Amino acid sequence: MEFLPREIEAYAEAHTESESDLLRHVSRETHAKIMRPRMLSGHAQGRLLALFSRLIRPRRILEIGTYTGYSALCLCEGLADDGLLITLDRNEELETFTRSIFAKSEFASRIDFRIGEALGIIATLDETFDLVFIDADKVNYRAYYDLIVEKMKPGGLILADNVLWSGKVADPSAHKRDKETPALLAFNEYVRNDPRVKCLLLPIRDGIMIAQVL
Ligand SMILES: C[S@@+](CC[C@H](N)C(=O)[O-])C[C@H]1O[C@@H](n2cnc3c(N)ncnc32)[C@H](O)[C@@H]1O
């Protein structure tokens, strides 16, 4: 499914800050060589992630679901001078490709890329975060959120991608067709009712839940 009519997407992108040469390279190489390139955040969403990061100037960012590094590089754009981004992915087959992308970046020394199951790694992190991007397996979103919300600095942002799941969350006939839709329905409801945060479900691309921790 296209998230937006193609001509609208093209118009919006034409009136949005361009991608850097490195981000264009990541996108091109991912589409040419890697399975499921649709998972990559892409131009408009990447610019939004970069904007959030530049507004917050985070010292610590956590990303759950690195894939080929596109969104990680966008999130790094606002890092404070002594800032660090930790990014996690369980797919060992992507490691060499993604490390080679990070090595080309001005942020290479400030990216801590870890391979493994996200739940296990997050539980070991003894950090507090200013910005978190959840973009891994949808069935674990609630578990990631619960682990992370306790590790957030006041005012910090938790962003969760794909919370509209191609519109299935708003289509009752689709609610039982896969395991992701009920998990995302429960996640969106949980965040909406969580007194620890203020939230906005932003219907850009596949939907981003934005939760600001009080
Ligand atoms: C949608 S992609 C991430 C895209 C990337 N954030 C971007 O915007 O360019 C999801 C990634 O999460 C990883 N993933 C899925 N389940 C995971 C888990 N339980 N632990 C760690 N990584 C996981 C997958 O291997 C995949 O690379």
Q: pLDDT tens-digit profile of 12-29?
A: 999 999 999 999 999 999
Q: Which residues line ligand 1 (CB under 6 A)?
A: 39-41, 65, 67, 70-71, 88-91, 117-118, 135-137, 140
- Specify the pLDDT at position 4: 79
Q: Which atom of ligand 1 is nearest to the CA of 68?
A: 9
Q: Which atom of ligand 1 is nearest to the CA of 116?
A: 21
Rounded to an integer, the average pLDDT of 122-142 is: 98
What residue spans define the domains of the chain? Answer: 6-213
Span 27-46, pLDDT tens digits: 999 999 999 999 999 999 99
Say what the pLDDT of residue 117 is: 98
Distance 17 CA to ligand 1 centre (A): 26
Q: Which of 31, 73, 85, 89 gets mutated to test ligand 1 (max ligand atoms within 8 A of its CB)?
A: 89
Confidence grade of residue 114 (pLDDT, cut at 50, 70, 90): very high
Ligand 1 centroid–CA 29 distance in Å is 17
Average pLDDT of the chain, as a whole number:
96
Q: How far is the CA of 53 from the centre of ligand 1 (A)?
A: 20
3-state helix/strand/coil string of the chain: CCCCCHHHHHHHHHCCCCCCHHHHHHHHHHHHHCCCHHHCCCHHHHHHHHHHHHHHCCCEEEEECCCCCHHHHHHHCCCCCCCEEEEEECCHHHHHHHHHHHHCCCCHHHEEEEECCHHHHHHHCCCCEEEEEECCCHHHHHHHHHHHHCCEEEEEEEEEECCCHHHHHHCHHHCCCCCHHHHHHHHHHHHHCCCCEEEEEECCCCCEEEEEEC
- More confident: 161 or 4: 161
Of 39, 131, 140, the one to substitute when testing ligand 1's pocket (max ligand atoms within 8 A of C-beta) is: 39
38: CA distance to ligand 1 center in Å?
Answer: 12
- Report yes or no on whether pTM surpasses 0.80: yes
Architecture in CATH for domain 6-213? 3-Layer(aba) Sandwich (3.40)
User: What pLDDT was estimated at residue 1?
Assistant: 60
* In the predicted structure, residue 3 carries a pLDDT above the cut 90: no
pLDDT at 128 over 70: yes
